[in-house]
């Protein structure tokens, strides 16, 4: 099993930048890619700010903070990934878009490199089928935000090799994560359980069972969840929740996974959650 030293992360959004920060702080060489130069600049600024905050709170030495920032390199050119040991994609939750990316990466990275997807619901087997190295494709689903949440969900595709699985598991352990392993079924473990709960909370709101505040309060104070399902949906992104529900519905073929019409309506209206300033709740603009 080859040691992973250098990591490429595709996607400068909240998940991608979080994964890049986590890996940089833990001593890995990081290439962070985004085709949007503004998004890439914002990601670098956000990572730098978060690392400086960790240092100021005494959770990381100044030396380690400076080393982490030196470990991080940003690029808008995927060709810079030629020497990385693993690529973790954290882009839009679309099978078609992810497959196109994997085709490009397959032709760029070295033959021994692992291609990992941070997908929260899409079949790893189908993503792997777009490449010439299906045995080196795996799911590595980080929770949001990656530097804080302790879990990584690892998903083996039909052809994922033991070497690929072991290298990915070892990487997650070096990042300080608790690992769970799922078979390659729609939604895997976490979202197979979580998203129907969120969807049902939308149904409760849609049918007038209760106000959004009471629905969230019920789950926070009645079941000890850190935040209510509607608040959590805003945090995740309503578009992401809708996409996952569609994958669950298509992949599992059960009507109970059909997305709530209210969730779809909010997404159609551009009410995507915190990232847009409005979702189920209204948020003050940063």
Catalytic residue among 44, 93, 121, 141: 141
Count Cβ neighbours within 10 Å for each residue of 213-226 and write b for 16 or more, e otherwise: eebbebbeeeeeee
The pLDDT score that the predictor gives to residue 285 is 62
Which member of 89, 153, 186, 199 is catalytic? 153
Q: What phi and psi, each to the nearest 5 degrees, are found at residue 104?
A: -65, -45
141 flagged as catalytic: yes
Phi, psi of 261 (to 5 degrees): -55, -35
Which of the following is catalytic: 17, 191, 199, 243?
Answer: 191
Is position 224 annotated as part of the catalytic site? no
Q: For residue 145, which of 18, 12, 16 has the smallest C-alpha distance?
A: 18
**In this prediction, what percent of the chain has a pLDDT beyond 90?**
97
Place of tokens 């690029």: 75
Cβ 7 vs Cβ 31: under 8 Å: yes
- 129: number of Cβ within 10 Å: 15
pLDDT per position as a tens digit, 202-234: 999 999 999 999 999 999 999 999 999 999 999
Is residue 191 among the annotated active site residues? yes
∠ CA 42-43-45, nearest 5°, is 65
**Tokens 């926070």 belong to residue:** 220
pLDDT digits (tens, 9 = 90+) for 8-59: 999 999 999 999 999 999 999 999 999 999 999 999 999 999 999 999 999 9
285: three-class secondary structure by DSSP: coil
Q: What is the pLDDT of residues 93-129, one digit of tens each?
A: 999 999 999 999 999 999 999 999 999 999 999 999 9
Residue 71 annotated to the active site: no
Closest to 235 (Cα-Cα) out of 14, 41, 43, 44: 14
Summarised one tens digit per residue, pLDDT across range 119-151 is 999 999 999 999 999 999 999 999 989 999 999
Residue in 182, 230, 168, 231 with CA at minimum distance from that of residue 4: 168
Active-site hit among 17, 71, 117, 120: 120
Distance from C-alpha of 183 to C-alpha of 254, rounded to nearest angstrom: 19
Q: Binning pLDDT at 50, 70 and 90, where does residue 184 land? A: very high
């Amino acid at each position: 099993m080859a040691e992973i030293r250098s990591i490429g992360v595709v996607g400068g959004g909240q998940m991608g930048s979080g994964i890049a920060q986590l890996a940089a702080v833990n001593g890995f060489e990081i290439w962070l890619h985004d085709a949007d130069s503004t998004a890439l600049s914002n990601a670098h600024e956000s990572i730098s700010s978060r690392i400086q905050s960790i240092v100021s709170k005494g959770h990381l030495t100044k030396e380690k903070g400076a080393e982490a920032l030196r470990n991080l390199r940003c690029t808008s050119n995927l060709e810079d990934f030629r020497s990385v040991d693993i690529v973790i994609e954290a882009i839009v939750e679309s099978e078609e878009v992810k497959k196109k990316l994997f085709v490009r990466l397959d032709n760029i990275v070295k033959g021994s490199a692992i291609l990992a997807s941070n997908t929260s619901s899409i079949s790893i087997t189908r993503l792997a089928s777009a490449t010439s190295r299906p045995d080196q494709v795996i799911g590595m689903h980080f929770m949001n935000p990656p530097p804080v949440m302790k879990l990584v969900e690892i998903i083996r595709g039909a052809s994922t090799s033991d070497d690929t699985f072991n290298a990915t598991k070892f990487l997650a352990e070096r990042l300080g994560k608790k690992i769970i392993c799922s078979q390659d079924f729609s939604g895997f473990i976490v979202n197979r359980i979580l998203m129907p709960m969120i969807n049902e909370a939308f149904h409760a709101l849609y049918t007038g069972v209760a106000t959004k505040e009471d629905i969230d309060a019920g789950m926070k104070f009645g079941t000890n969840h850190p935040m209510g399902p509607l608040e959590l949906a805003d945090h995740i992104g309503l578009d992401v929740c809708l996409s996952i529900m569609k994958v669950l519905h298509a992949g599992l073929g059960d009507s109970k996974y059909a997305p709530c019409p209210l969730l779809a309506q909010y997404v159609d209206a551009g009410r995507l959650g915190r990232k847009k300033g409005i979702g189920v709740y209204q948020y003050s603009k940063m």
